[in-house]
Chains A and B, each alone.
Chain A
Amino acid sequence: MTAIVGAHETPYARHPAEDTDTTGILAAAVAGALADAGIAHGAVDGLGVASFSLVPDHAIDLAWRLGLRVRWLMDDANGGASAVDMLQHAVRAIEAGDAETIVLCAGDHLDRAAFRRLVEEYNRATAEHLTPLGYTGPNALFAMVTQRWLAARGLDRAALGAIPVAQRAWAAGNPAAVYREPLTMEEYLASPYVAEPLTRYDCVPVVTGADAVVVTGAPAGGRPHVRVRAIAALHNPDHQQGPGFGEGFADVARRLWPLAGVRPEDVDAAFLYDDYPVVVAVQAEELGLVPGGDIERWLRVDVLERGRALNTSGGQLSAGQAGAAGGMHGLVEAVRQLRGEAAGRQADVSLAVVGGYGMVLLRHGACHNAAVLERVA
């Protein structure tokens, strides 16, 4: 049975040490995940990597630097959707016999200049059509996605404020989160706009860091591992012409739950990609996690008041976004929760969903995917 048997995240740093480099943090994540799995370095026969700052190196260069001789190799350039994307391919590769034990890693070290270059030249459309407007980065684009979503639901921004406020409360239990001090709704609402209606609490802090997981076809006994029940994806659903919601995850959900053989209401915890709160709300709604479709009540009661298990690390909004590792952050946290190893913030979790989202082509993200994971004792 194919399962995730190890996970690791390097300490996320707002201000990394002078000699930090991308290969080094990816190596630390890989070594940590193998140690967590109890699997020898020499047993690895597959490698996948997602990183914006590994250039000019690719997965093969990383395999060389990590001393790995591999039968399966994958470069993934899909940002916040890369972890679930690599997991999708890795599970199938193992099931097809292409490899037995695959390490998937993601991470970035982006200094100020490298980060600026990344956002200004994120893709050709950004470089040619957005950067010349005189504003860089995705905040203003997601401000408009947020406006459209709030208007469509007849809600005000306090509704979405439940997400950063609740995730900050979870972050208090995660010593690795970069922001852990409590955040109140009053503070959230009083914060100045970065791009209306978004405040700095709606935008991820950029950090240096890396994440890794180990997937194998022959998990050892004695410790819970994590089985992948189903994965589904949809990319470029609307050619950047729609509102930025309503198509990607809705389609993913129609295939995901029948494949998983469980219902969304069976899920104990959700790890939803959170570059912006609206993206979490869109995943929750469209993946079917909102009882009766009442998103206002789900945000206010389930997420904020009752502390439903959602992005229990504090999410990227509190723990930080380490470039392409942002997509794997939630997967690593899901594995920890499912194995009962989320000290300080452990919830009662045996079935979880992980959402991936990313790659802004012009107006909003184009990549959507999700995985249903379960604990196997």
Chain B
Amino acid sequence: MTVVFSVVRCARCGLAAWPAPALCRACGSRELPAEQAGTGLLEETTAADPIVLGTVRTDAGPVVVARVEGASPGERVALRVDDGALTARSA
């Protein structure tokens, strides 16, 4: 199953986070609805057999670790979750 990646965004103060925290780190709120975060910038990658792992700064805010498929550092990427695996591909 493939879905667009999502983070959560605090309903009180607006800070986005991932993985979903139990309390907002900025204001302590528990009201943290999900929000799609399907795009970002690929910052670093490393080939770690059998995959390429990367760091992505999402446009929503959170910095995440993803499996990279055919994208290079500095590129804009689309973020999808494929069977539980957060995957970054060239946008």
Among A137-145, A175-183, A214-222, which stretch is in contact with chain B?
A137-145
Q: Is A56 an interface residue (CB 8 A)?
A: no
Q: Is the CB of B65 within 8 A of A195?
A: no
CA distance A241 to B19 in the complex (A): 11
B-chain residues with CB within 8 Å of residue A194 when the two chains form the complex: 48
Q: Is the CB of A134 within 8 A of B19?
A: no
Q: Is the CB of A134 within 8 A of B62?
A: no
B-chain residues with CB within 8 Å of residue A147 when the two chains form the complex: 44, 46
Q: Is the CB of A129 within 8 A of B65?
A: yes
Q: Which B residue's beta carbon lies closest to that of A143?
A: B46
Q: Is the CB of B53 within 8 A of A144?
A: yes
Interface residue SS majority, chain A: helix
Q: Is the CB of A133 within 8 A of B50?
A: no
Q: Is the CB of B47 within 8 A of A193?
A: yes
A-chain residues with CB within 8 Å of residue B65 when the two chains form the complex: 129-130, 133, 141, 362-363
B-chain residues with CB within 8 Å of residue A129 when the two chains form the complex: 19, 65, 86
Q: Is A135 an interface residue (CB 8 A)?
A: yes
Within 8 Å by CB of B67, from A133, A143, A241, lies: A133
Which residues in chain B, 28-71, are within 8 Å of chain A measured between CB atoms?
44-48, 50-51, 53-55, 62-63, 65-67
Residue-wise interface mask of A (141-155) relative to B, using a CB-CB cutoff of 8 A (1 in contact, 0 not)? 101100110000000
Which residues in chain A, 244-259, are within 8 Å of chain B measured between CB atoms?
none
A139-B25 contact in complex given A130-B65, A132-B85, C-beta closer than 8 Å: no
Q: Is A125 an interface residue (CB 8 A)?
A: yes
Q: Is A196 an interface residue (CB 8 A)?
A: yes
Q: Is A36 an interface residue (CB 8 A)?
A: no
Q: Is A305 an interface residue (CB 8 A)?
A: no
CA distance A135 to B50 in the complex (A): 7
Q: Is the CB of A239 within 8 A of B44?
A: no
Q: Which B residue's beta carbon lies closest to that of A242?
A: B63
Residue-wise interface mask of A (85-122) relative to B, using a CB-CB cutoff of 8 A (1 in contact, 0 not)? 00000000000000000000000000000000000000
A-chain residues with CB within 8 Å of residue B63 when the two chains form the complex: 240-241, 363
Q: Is the CB of A363 within 8 A of B47?
A: no
Which residues in chain A, 169-196, are within 8 Å of chain B measured between CB atoms?
193-196
A241-B85 contact in complex given A143-B46, A147-B44, C-beta closer than 8 Å: no
Q: Is A341 an interface residue (CB 8 A)?
A: no
**A205: shortest Cβ distance to chain B, in Å?**
18
Q: Which A residue's beta carbon lies closest to that of B17?
A: A239
Which residues in chain A, 335-366, are within 8 Å of chain B measured between CB atoms?
362-363
CA distance A128 to B25 in the complex (A): 21
Within 8 Å by CB of A140, from B17, B48, B84, B85, lies: B48
**B71: shortest Cβ distance to chain A, in Å?**
15
**A182: shortest Cβ distance to chain B, in Å?**
28
Count chain B CB atoms within 10 A of each CB in A128, A132, A140 and give the residue with the most. A140
Count chain A CB atoms within 10 A of each CB in B25, B45, B65 and give the residue with the most. B65
Q: Is the CB of B83 within 8 A of A195?
A: no
B-chain residues with CB within 8 Å of residue A148 when the two chains form the complex: 44
Q: Which A residue's beta carbon lies closest to that of B62?
A: A241
B-chain residues with CB within 8 Å of residue A363 when the two chains form the complex: 55, 63, 65
A132-B84 contact in complex given A125-B19, A195-B46, A196-B46, C-beta closer than 8 Å: yes
A-chain residues with CB within 8 Å of residue B45 when the two chains form the complex: 144
CA distance A100 to B48 in the complex (A): 49
CA distance A240 to B54 in the complex (A): 15
A-chain residues with CB within 8 Å of residue B86 when the two chains form the complex: 129, 133
CA distance A144 to B52 in the complex (A): 11
Given contacts A128-B19, A133-B53, A363-B63, 12 further A-B contacts (CB under 8 A): A132-B85, A133-B66, A133-B67, A134-B51, A139-B48, A143-B46, A144-B53, A147-B44, A147-B46, A195-B46, A195-B48, A196-B47
List B residues at the A interface (Cβ < 8 Å).
17, 19, 25, 44-48, 50-51, 53-55, 62-63, 65-67, 83-86
List A residues at the B interface (Cβ < 8 Å).
125, 128-130, 132-135, 139-141, 143-144, 147-148, 193-196, 239-241, 362-363
